[in-house]
A and B are shown apart, each in its own frame.
Chain A
């Protein structure tokens, strides 16, 4: 894989990993302490709002990269796939 391709997916994976860390122990259980004192935010459970926020970050990250990344532009659809002889 070329350097440019690796670089453009780097940001996708970085944002994804950070978001996953935010919704997992130990960070999540530190945040849980805050939720005990502030159970509701905007009328919704604070824990739910926190989790939902990071899930939306992941989805937007995925959506944006699917739209913009050069390495995900599906140019391979133009390539012909030559069948390979199977050994089994």
Chain B
């Protein structure tokens, strides 16, 4: 057997072992399945960060830099700010989870607006746009399996392997299992991305500076905006960070972690350390991707630049270990997404609309079936090989970005109404689909995601001002403000 593939298999067996250990501590009920029963700083930091950094971190980021240059580092905004939002917004949702027993953001939305329609819309939209995001992880895993096996494992086999492992991981451990395996994978991917990139650089150049100088000689346009292909314009810059930073917070795999902290202190320090982790992981990524332009000028898929460099310029055992880190990035996001989606199927669809008398054990069983169904849909989507990883990331975030006014408005603004929530979500989504898939235009150079997010905000404010808010929304906001008032 191929040595690299062998190392990857050992890595996956270790992960399954960790999930098995976690499953023995799982209470086998929906609340524990959803929230993990209260996580500490170390695990929450790493599960949030590893979930946030997906296959994009190892593959999409390198691919974008290789093609479009330093404009990629707009990324830094959506690695620093998520920690801040995790603390500023997340602690309010954390409190509501304790106060009102919410298990998901759509659960919160339907209660705070006193509208099943709002909850159902939030559930439907987050689930629909989680599909391309899970598919993105499957695509990343497939690339990894194909690259490391020297093409012996096909793209399809890679995607199916991803599906099987994800199902087992989530089935075995629930949130606790996912969080603990994420923590292990988070450590692994951080060391892998930094160590692997540095090794490739040092194998070819005496220093990082020398590598940058050589890259500048070869392709000076990589070093300034808008990059060699003119992609990183001011409009593109604003669109990318605004849509991804705020959109990411709406994904269920991220928002579910707002409920998971053991205490506020845990939430705070996890938020701070997440910003540090998410940003520091990319220190050598631009350099290694720039030199990829010199060392591998004719790559078929730019997204594979980092694994290809590893396999070519580092010992196979080391390369395989680092590529396992890439697999960690994809799987830690994939398992969290499947877990979050299945939790929503169980709590927000099954319990509310199909069987209102369902007990926790029944809901736990439904969540497990949900993992299977949702995983299958996502892998079928991945097998269609839809697009480049960075484009998929953008599409998924654009779809959920329109939920921002509804979710955040309900925590801060007493005039927010259910009519405003429904109309802002519907108009925002219709606009996003129209601009992205029908008209295929970016008015004034701004992305469809940014337009739809902005319009949904305007609609939300205007309709709220024209309709009457439910007094209950005010009660929820008062409860939050009373709790956080320190003087």
CB <8 Å contact, B209 and A43 = yes
B272 touches A48 (CB 8 A): no
B225 in contact (CB, < 8 A): yes
Whether the pair B114, A87 counts as a contact (CB closer than 8 A) is yes
Q: Is B128 an interface residue (CB 8 A)?
A: no
B451 in contact (CB, < 8 A): no
**Cα distance A85–B162 when bound, in Å?**
42
Residues of B within 8 A of A66 (CB): 87, 268-269, 271-272
- Within the complex, what minimum Cβ distance (angstroms) separates B354 from chain A? 16
A residues within 8 A CB of B269? 66
Docked Cα-Cα span, A44 to B215, in Å, equals 11
Report how far A29 CA is from B238 CA in the complex, Å.
12
Q: Which of A20, A58, A75 has the most CB of B within 10 A?
A: A58
* A40: chain B residues within 8 A (beta carbon): 209, 212-213, 216, 223
Q: Using an 8 Å CB-CB cutoff, how does the interface string of B460-472 with A read, 1 for contact, 0 for none?
A: 0000000000001
On chain A, the residues within 8 Å of B99 by CB distance are: 81-84
Q: Can you show 28 pairs from A to B with CB atoms below 8 A apart?
A: A1-B487, A3-B487, A5-B485, A24-B241, A39-B220, A39-B224, A40-B216, A40-B223, A42-B209, A45-B70, A45-B286, A48-B286, A51-B73, A58-B84, A62-B80, A62-B272, A63-B276, A66-B87, A71-B486, A74-B265, A76-B264, A76-B483, A77-B263, A82-B99, A83-B98, A83-B99, A84-B100, A86-B101
Chain A: minimal CB distance from B22 (Å): 26
Q: Does B275 contact A (CB under 8 A)?
A: yes
Residues of A close to B413: CB separation below 8 A: none
Chain A to chain B: the 6 pairs with minimum beta-carbon distance, closest first: A43-B209, A2-B487, A25-B234, A74-B264, A55-B76, A74-B265
Contact of A59 with B73 in the complex, beta carbons under 8 Å: no
**Interface size in chain B (residues, C-beta < 8 A):** 56
> Are A35 and B234 closer than 8 Å at their CB atoms?
no
Pick from A5, A16, A44: contact of B487, CB under 8 Å: A5
Task: Check A32/B268 contact, CB under 8 A, given A1-B481, A39-B216.
Answer: no
* CB pair A62 B114 closer than 8 Å: no
State which residues 67-99 of B face A: CB under 8 Å.
Answer: 70, 73-74, 76-77, 79-81, 83-84, 87, 95, 98-99
Is B390 located at the chain interface by the 8 A CB criterion? no
Q: How far does the alpha carbon of A84 sit from the alpha carbon of B264 in the complex, in Å?
A: 19
Known A45-B212, A46-B223, A62-B83; further 7 A-B contacts with Cβ < 8 A: A24-B237, A28-B237, A43-B207, A55-B279, A66-B87, A75-B486, A88-B110
A59-B275, A62-B272 known; A32 vs B220 contact (CB < 8 Å): no
CB nearest neighbor in A for B207: A43
**Chain B: which residue is nearest A32 at the CB level?**
B225
Interface residue count for A (Cβ, 8 Å)? 49
Please tell me if the beta carbons of A2 and B485 are within 8 angstroms of each other in the complex: yes
Cβ contacts under 8 Å, B272 to chain A: 62-63, 66
A72 at the interface (CB under 8 A from B): yes
Q: In the complex, what distance in Å separates the CA atom of A28 from the CA atom of B271?
A: 27
Least distance between A25 CB and chain B CB atoms (Å): 4
CA distance A1 to B482 in the complex (A): 8
CB pair B486–A44 under 8 Å, yes or no, is no
Closest chain A residue, CB of each to CB of B485: A1
Q: Does B161 contact A (CB under 8 A)?
A: no
Neighbour of B223 across the interface among A39, A43, A62, CB < 8 A: A39
Q: Indicate if the CB atoms of A88 and B114 lie closer than 8 Å.
A: yes
- With A and B bound together, what is the CA distance between A1 and B79 in angstroms? 29
Cα A86 to Cα B74 in complex, Å, equals 41
0/1 interface trace, chain B 197-213, chain A, CB 8 Å (1 if under): 00000000001111011
Shortest Cβ distance from residue A35 to the other chain B in the assembled complex, whole angstroms: 5
Which residues on the A side are within 8 Å of B95 (C-beta)?
81
Please, what's the 1-or-0 string for B51-81, where 1 marks a CB less than 8 Å from any CB in chain A?
0000000000000000000100110110111
Whether A2 contacts B486 in the complex (CB less than 8 A), given A32-B225, A59-B80, A62-B275, comes out as yes
Contact of B265 among A26, A51, A62, A77 (CB under 8 A): A77
Chain A: CB-nearest residue to B225: A32
Query: A87 contacts which chain B residues (CB < 8 A)?
Result: 111, 114, 472
CB <8 Å contact, B76 and A23: yes
Bound CA span A46–B484, Å? 42
Min CB–CB distance A21 → chain B (angstroms): 12
Q: Is the CB of A62 within 8 A of B479?
A: no
**A48-B70 contact, Cβ under 8 Å, with A32-B225, A43-B213, A55-B279:** yes
Contact of B80 among A26, A48, A58, A77 (CB under 8 A): A58
**Residue pair A79, B483 in contact (C-beta under 8 Å):** yes
Encode contact with A along B96-135: 1 for CB under 8 Å, 0 otherwise: 0011110000000011001010010000000000000000
Given the complex of chains A and B, what is the CA–CA distance between A86 and B220 in angstroms?
60
Residue from A26, A55, A75, A77 in contact with B234 in the complex, judged by beta carbons closer than 8 Å: A26
Cβ of A23: which chain B residues have Cβ within 8 Å of it? 74, 76-77
Interface residue from B100, B263, B279 paired with A83 (Cβ < 8 Å): B100
Chain B proximity of A9: nearest CB distance (Å) = 9
Closest partner residue, chain B, to A81 (CB atom) = B98
Residue of A29, A36, A51, A88 touching B111 (CB-CB under 8 A): A88
For B74, B99, B275, B486, which residue has the most chain A Cβ atoms within 10 angstroms? B486
